Structure 1
């Protein structure tokens, strides 16, 4: 344990009974992230069926030590990375032998280690279960629809008129984009960032209207799609969004809630030539 107290890779180990019989094998990792890092904070990975028994086992040895235990099974998941790509990444980028302790700046993940059980078995990463969803939303990538390529040389199909008109005119009036949610009594965010300490408001549901704040018009400027924590995706009218991102005093809100919406343009969107 002292070898990983300052951070780095985890290691493979086992827990024994006082008589020396095996209870469980496990991985123990330092948590190479968070406030005041490095800190004596570790994550233990073991069979899901053993969680409750392991809690009882460890509590026997805590005594008066200032140690806190918490089950994070619902928050994190284990992933394995193997093959030629992983080996090449180790050799060319990390420049360290497999299984050695590495600094945070050269890690494949904040929590993980090379799996030593079988030679060449790969790298074991522990990542937040919702990390992919967060990354997808921050980049404005929806999963609420099926995007298929259209062959414009084919015959008639459902929705042809609207699709072919958009293709030839090049005019797109609405797009799905990332948005950040904040309360009415808070200042509008200037950059898109996720706060994992908050939860996506329960009153915000897909297909709820997004409207201009203090507008008497009943016409909405967008609709909510999905979200997590304090970020989400929304189908927004580009005309109104452009006014917002260029600094005009425009505020969007979800009617009959205390939630305001601030849209952001993804970095990968092409820039229009003037």
Structure 2
């Protein structure tokens, strides 16, 4: 058996680790005895509030599923329907496997012809598929609730392309997120060598962690503590990272408003793909007035919070008196606090846990970000001390819904992206 190796520091091609001279195919792995289930069952609430942020952890993401796309035309098909580039640096008409990107996985999105997000995805080289030549087999990771819809979407538009599409069964492939804030190079031991694994950095934001795929029912053995999936979602929210179609609303969300540009999901030098026209026009000519931002919820009457507050340190499992972010309806309108300036809606709530979450915010109203060609403040614009509220769902019929205060923050990674992109 090979000795354990460090995997999270790797940034190169897919890591497919197996014992020397032995390989167990994915179909056979699914027939092995299932492992003892852990206390955090898949049936548990996805966003059950954790007690606090976890500086190091390994979370199984039951909220994500894998779709296999394999065959001679798989890469060519994906190149025409996703925002990322499978053939960076090549502009010719007939790319080959030699022109393919070499990283193990990357973040991307499927768009409508009108440039709206259908699905946010991670795409991986399926280095464990020995039935196809290199570059002919890919795994698409998608929101579990949307996996069947994406599979049907791919089948519908494959036409005569030569590739097969298959949604992996539960237990056939598992997605994990690993992170370690205390490690200088984010190391973590690789699982036993008989466990096949694909590892890639999560490049959506600096130091967010690593994505891992496993294809064995045997649980990962790691020095990192196994944590509930809710800990991963809390981490995403404090970083300001949306994921899945509960937060990137299907057929509505725009890539730039969803920070897909800043999260490295789009290659603006790439050739044609579905939804490219509006996306490119927005990048080069448009002004993006709304962005998904991390938000902190706090009780009415609390003093305004500083804009440079660390959301990790400010997290609480509830806002007040049992009220949590999960009680705020999705797309609830965010408005100015009573007694403040008048004006239109400042944004829409998306999702959260405890007292933090994500909202689609109007930058000129809820933040100090100055849009190109506009003043930093003014009537209806952002001002120091401005406060905003969002409604919590009603407890009983006829009972007036309560409101809680909400403050948006622009994370440093996104602020740098806005400066680099001059507002978009």
TM-score (norm 2): 0.33
Structure with more of its chain in helix, by fraction: 1
Query: Which structure has the greater CA radius of gyration?
Result: 1
Q: Give the structure-1-normalised TM-score.
A: 0.49
